[in-house]
Amino acid sequence: MKKTRISLTIIGLLLLASCSKRLTAIQNKTPEQIGTAYTIHKDVSYGSDVE
């Protein structure tokens, strides 16, 4: 019973891991590509930081 439960847990975790998105699949972008893809709609001023 204990081996079955452990086996099912491992199989379940492997299935979940295989369905997750790969973080390494994100393509490297040049600064020009980032600049064209992302734009600033509003520049919010948070006030002065007195130190």
Q: How does pLDDT run across 8-45, given as a tens digit for each residue?
A: 999 998 888 777 666 555 577 787 887 777 777 777 77
d(CA 32, CA 34): 5
Q: Which two tokens stand for residue 20?
A: 């997750």
pLDDT at 33 (0 to 100): 80
| pTM to 2 decimal places | 0.39
